[in-house]
Structure 1
Amino acid sequence: MRILRTDEGRFTDLPDYPFAPNYLDVAPDLRMHYVDEGPADAPPVLMLHGEPSWSYLYRHMIPLVASAGYRVLAPDLIGFGKSDKPAAVEDYSYDRHMDWLVNWVEQLDLSNITLVCQNWGSLLGLRLAAENPHRFARIIVGNGMLPTGENRVTTTFTLWKAFASYSPWLPIGRVVQLGTDRMLSKGELAAYEAPFPSDQHKAGARAFPKLVPVSSEDPSSAANREAWRALEKWRKPFITCFSSGDPITRGCDRYMQRRIPGAYGQPHTTLRGGHFLQEDSPREFARIIIDALKSQMAA
């Protein structure tokens, strides 16, 4: 496996991203970057990004939750952000992503975690929590789902999968802009492009759409169905925080609310925005997280 590493100079002076870098090896010669802000002994809030973003997506939320007294951890998934990037699309699989993320959580020995996840952060995060329930205190999902391949995928996703797989041009910043209602600045668009100085660096971004289970025969479908069996017994708080304008995951919030016991009676919310609600409603999203943590303290 040939591993690429984005030069640190590409991350200089990014708008609203002052966070010190942290790194852990999650496989031999494979380094994962993560943001770690707030008191080290405080309850951890794990923010998982998706496709094709990185921890930069949470830049407006991290300081708000950390200043409320919580430890915020936002890793860059392998292939994204400041993390290392295997150069071939074939180097990526659902199970490998899970292994890398589990290794990272275990090395940090995180517990009492509040999971915040969106997009592929949900495909990985929901399975992570289902398979390691002793480490998690609650789950907050924004525009995400855990697919098993048994439900029909949207036309929007089918088109995106074809584009990511076959287009010779994969403009990461423009993709994020298409999923965001507000206009991103030139600096913000450049920040989303920063991890990817060449097309070879984008192998992880091209791989993700192919890894979403679209049939029950998919290699990851069985493990995801098993995770759903665990989620159907999940009685810890489970909160959905979807946006009003996401064509990809619309309706998945109600589906999860019906199937997961921990969702009953929770303050489910619809926020203004597109697929990347962290860009459109970061303060409101952060407030939901903080209120959920405070409710635990008051209980």
Structure 2
Amino acid sequence: MSALADEISPGIFRTPDTRFDNLPDFPFTPNYIELDGLRFHYVDEGPRDGAAVLLLHGEPTWSYLYRHMIPPLVAAGHRVIAPDLMGFGRSDKPTSVEDHSHQRHVAQMRALVLALDLNDITMFVQDWGGLIGLRVLAEEPDRFARVIVANTGLPGSGGLRGYIGYPLFRFLLWWEGTVTWEELSENPSFIRWAAYSQTVEDMPVGKIVGLVAAGKEGALDLELVTAYDAPFPDARYKAGPRIMPYLVPSELRENAAAWEVLEQWEKPFLTAFSDSDPITRGGEVEFQQRIPGARNRDHLTIQGAGHFLQETHGPQLADAIIRFMQEP
């Protein structure tokens, strides 16, 4: 176990600031806000009167994932906000997986949007950023102007499927059994990734980001692997990364309710999925077909990108956001 542990209250760890010293390409001043009894970190760059761009990360990354997108967005005159979810990045980290739920993350992100009084928001979401951000949008639709989704989804079902979907998922994980790193590397499918997350003793966060960032292990050099490992000195800090895959289908009925709002959403909605993501490939079709604001639009396919496309194609995505915001 690390000697750097900083338990600020029973069951709550805060990563020491020294872990974030000298990270490559991440010169941004940290900002903090108290929400839900925890300290949350967020990047807030650009003019305060600029159009708000909200960048939401997923699992097991943090706002560092957006380091190549923030500067060009700021240069275009926008205010860029990139928060760290509870349990990730520089935000506080409950040590129990039971402290995490889909709804709690939604409530926390909504509280951040309200606390910063963000309006006319352009939101970019990827991975868990979509599961959380789209639920926030459903609760506060008037605060959002446009949305870009990348390599994400919002699984929702009503009726009987809404009740049995999560138990069935847990059964599939049990059936999958223990998944080794070698097996995950050979086939990083979602079900295999979820099973791996529940059985690995100490999740190698940086290696995982590298594995699916470009579709192969070793895609990131050691310096970047270290940057993604920085929030997690040891396994005690990793309740968030461990439990989030398990929670993906945990609130199917709540997601279905959010879809009722999304199916009435006529504001601009753009998909920018990778062509080589083993986890969400093809998921853009549901958004394009079900959301009015996504119809009759030239959507993007990011060629040669894996799951964490911000890592390998950040400037291209930033340019797409800028052009999207310039549309009449």
| Range class of TM-score, shorter chain | over 0.9
The number of aligned residues is 290
For residues 293 and 157 of structure 1, the distance between their equivalents in structure 2, rounded to whole angstroms, comes to 32
Alignment of 1:41 with 2:49, yes or no, is yes
Aligned to 1:161: 194
Identity rate, percent:
49
Q: SS where residue 51 of structure 1 aligns? A: coil
Which residue pairs with 1:287 in the alignment?
A: 319
Counterpart residue number, 2:6? none
What is the match of residue 208 of structure 1?
A: 244
In structure 2, how many angstroms separate the alpha carbons of the residues matched to 1:135 and 1:261? Answer: 18
User: Is 1:52 matched with 2:77?
Assistant: no
Number of the residue aligned with 1:18:
27
> TM-score, normalising length from structure 1?
0.94
2:17 is aligned with what amino acid?
E
Q: Tell me the residue number matched to 1:232.
A: 263
Residue 233 of structure 2: aligned partner: 197
**1:179 aligns to what SS in structure 2?**
helix
Q: Distance in 2 between matches of 1:255 and 1:136?
A: 20
Q: CA RMSD in A?
A: 1.6
Which amino acid is the alignment partner of residue 167 of structure 1? V
Unaligned runs of 5+ in 2: 1-9, 173-187
Asked whether 1:274 is paired with 2:283, we answer: no
Q: Which runs of 4+ in 1 moved over 6 A?
A: 151-155
Residue 123 (structure 1) shift: 0.4
Question: Looking at CA atoms only, which structure, 1 or 2, has the larger radius of gyration?
Answer: 2
Distance 1:2 1:112 in 2: 37
User: Secondary structure of 2:147's match?
Assistant: strand
Where 1:281 maps in the other structure, the secondary structure is helix
Aligned with 1:265 (options 284, 288, 296): 296
Deviations 1:146-204 (A, max 9, x none): 11255898981111111111111310001000112283121111000000001010001
What 5-or-longer segments of structure 1 have no aligned partner?
Answer: none
1:1-299 aligned within 5 A: 2-28=11-37, 30-148=38-156, 156-181=189-214, 183-213=219-249, 218=250, 220-272=251-303, 273-295=305-327, 299=328
1:257 corresponds to which letter in structure 2? Q
Deviation at 1:266, TM superposition (A): 2.3
Distance in 1 (alpha carbons) for counterparts of 2:11 and 2:297: 45
Q: Distance in 2 between matches of 1:175 and 1:64?
A: 27
1:210 CA drift (Å): 1.1
